[in-house]
Structure 1
Amino acid sequence: MKELIAYILQFGNLNQQQIDLILSKSTALNLQKHEYFSEAGRTPKQVGFVVEGVLRGCYYNNKGEEITRCFISENSLVVDYLNFEAGTSSSEYLQACTNCTLLVFSKQHWEELSKIIVEWDPIKNKMVQLCMYQKSRKGPVISQDATSRYLEFMENYPSLINRIPLVYIASYLGVTQQSLSRIRNNIR
């Protein structure tokens, strides 16, 4: 819980009573590897904060291929916020790449914080902007060769290389798992 509070306090000041209220509105959620935090075709119902683990945002293209769009790791919000706010169905999945521990807020509790804590909306807006920026970060440029894309991935996500399955990294890079294995062997 201290991680969540440290994260929130980056974006504004709150007193102990407000902090205690925020914590009282959150609940712990454990996701096993491969479980979904939210699914395409369903309305997102909660906002999560990743305490431990890695999730990925993914979707299926028009050929039915699974595409990994982003990775979300510790000390980050995880939510399909536009659909969460609008109460509409998501077009992507948020899936655990590893076993994950999150603190989650239901839609009701998330909205209650805005009604009770005057300073909450500016803080929430900054957190959501960062979350949306992290999720929208463009994947590797496909015009780059695969080795360059992998080296860029290693630079951008050094802590993820040995934590998540290669199949997800390959999907993110737009290469096959076999190609990724060859690239990794050539780099060593």
Structure 2
Amino acid sequence: MEKMIQYILQFGSLNTQQIDLVISKGQIFNLKKDDYFSEAGKIPRQVGFITQGVIRGCYYNNKGEEITRCFISENSLVCDYVNFEAQASSSEYLQAVTDCSLIIFSKKDWEELSRIIVEWDTIKNKMVQLCMHQKSRKGPVISQDATTRYLEFMENYPSLINRVPLSYIATYLGVTQQSLSRIRKNIR
């Protein structure tokens, strides 16, 4: 919980009583590798803070191919926030790439924090903006060659190289797994 509180306090200040309230609303939740935090076709029911592990945002394109859009790792908020707020069905999946530990907030508890803590909406909005920015970060520029895309991935996500299956990295980069294996072999 301490890492989550440190994260929250980057966006505003809370007194001890308010911090205790936030802690009381969060529940520790474990997600096994390959399980979903939220699924396409379902209404997202919670906001999470990742304390350990990696989650990916993915969807299926019109050819039925799975595309990884983003990776979200420790000390980050995770949520399909637009659909969470609107109580609308999601169009993407948030899936655990590794076993994950999270602190989750139900919609009811998340909204209750807004009603009780005056500053919460300002803090929440800043956290959500960062979350949405991380999720919407543009994938690699497809006009770049595949090696350049992979090198940029390594630069942007150095901690994920050995934690994320190559198949997910390949769909993120827009290449086949075989192409990615060749690229990795050539740059060693």
Give the TM-score, by structure 1 length: 0.99
Residues in 1 aligned to 2:4 and 2:123: alpha-carbon distance in whole angstroms: 13
* Superposed counterparts of 1:1-188, under 5 Å: 1-188=1-188
User: What is the RMSD of the two structures over their aligned residues, measured on CA atoms?
Assistant: 0.4
Letter in 2 for 1:135: K
Alignment partners' CA distance in 2, 1:116 and 1:6: 20
In structure 2, runs of 5+ residues without a counterpart are: none
Equivalent-residue separation in structure 1 for 2:31 and 2:182 (angstroms): 32
Report SS of the residue matched to 1:29. Answer: strand
**% identical equivalent positions:** 78
User: Which whole-Å CA distance do the structure 1 matches of 2:32 and 2:176 have between them?
Assistant: 25
CA displacement 1:121-147 (0-9 Å, x = unmatched): 000000000000000000000000000
For 1:128, what is the secondary structure of its paired residue? helix
Amino acid at match of 2:20: D
Distance 1:51 1:180 in 2: 29
For the residue of structure 2 that corresponds to 1:161, the secondary structure is coil
Moved over 6 A (4+): none
Code of the aligned partner of 1:33: K
C-alpha distance in structure 2 between counterparts of 1:67 and 1:142, whole Å: 13
Gaps of 5+ in 1: none
| Aligned-partner SS, 1:70 | strand
Which residue type is aligned with residue 113 of structure 1?
L
For 2:134, the aligned partner's letter is Q
SS across alignment from 2:103: strand
Matched letter for residue 16 of structure 2: Q
Tell me the distance in 1 between the aligned counterparts of 2:32 and 2:185. Answer: 30
Q: How far does residue 27 in structure 1 lie from its aligned partner after superposition? A: 0.3
Q: How many equivalent residue pairs?
A: 188
Give the AA of the match of 2:132: M
TM-fit CA distance, 1:23: 0.6
1:48 deviation in Å?
0.2
The CA deviation at 1:54 is 0.2
Shift of 1:184: 0.4
